[in-house]
Structure 1
């Protein structure tokens, strides 16, 4: 069972109390974007086998959105953090790198 700590209210919630929101840290395109860029934003998502950043809502709790970094293979959770950030916090990136040497995601090292 997947258990995530809501960074907003501090409660450890299991997956039955949470609502998934898809991939986190999407780069949105503006109205001047090409059709291909808009299609990429709407439909093309990363679906890695391994470390993944996701959006979650504490539906049966405080109701707020947050982000989680976890492994899709093992359900190992590296941490959760506020949804109001554009990139994962450094402590989350360090936790992933410590457990997965050589790991890289997009422009984050």
Structure 2
């Protein structure tokens, strides 16, 4: 079991949280103007890198807030957690192209 460090409540077991997907994905400014291929790419294409990865989590059974976590997907080691709107101290945050 992961021990996830909520930036608001401190470390808690992963059963208190809901995974929210890759972090730092910007919603298109005018989604209605995208063609089907571009909209599908926004919805479904993610980096899925092996190694450090920025993820969004929600502390469902705690403060209820969303936050971001950098986790190494090969070891499950959590490198850092930080509030939404902040940038990680190091690492990749851009969306896939």
Instruction: Tell me the TM-score normalized by structure 1.
Output: 0.74
Higher relative contact order (CA 8 A, sep 6+): 2
CA separation of 1:13/1:64 partners in 2, compared to 1, >3 Å: closer, same or farther? same
User: What residue is the counterpart of 1:17 in the other structure?
Assistant: 16
Cα distance in 2 between the residues matched to 1:17 and 1:105: 25
CA separation of 1:58/1:27 partners in 2, compared to 1, >3 Å: closer, same or farther? same
Kindly report the root-mean-square deviation, in angstroms, between the aligned alpha carbons of the 2 structures.
1.9
User: What residue is the counterpart of 2:6 in the other structure?
Assistant: 6
Counterpart mapping for 1:27-66 below 5 A: 27-29=26-28, 30=30, 31-66=32-67
Cα distance in 2 between the residues matched to 1:26 and 1:105: 9
Instruction: Tell me the TM-score normalized by structure 2.
Output: 0.83
Structure 2: 5+ residue stretches without partners? none
User: What residue is the counterpart of 2:87 in the other structure?
Assistant: 88
Q: How many pairs does the alignment contain?
A: 93
Cα distance in 1 between the residues matched to 2:93 and 2:57: 20
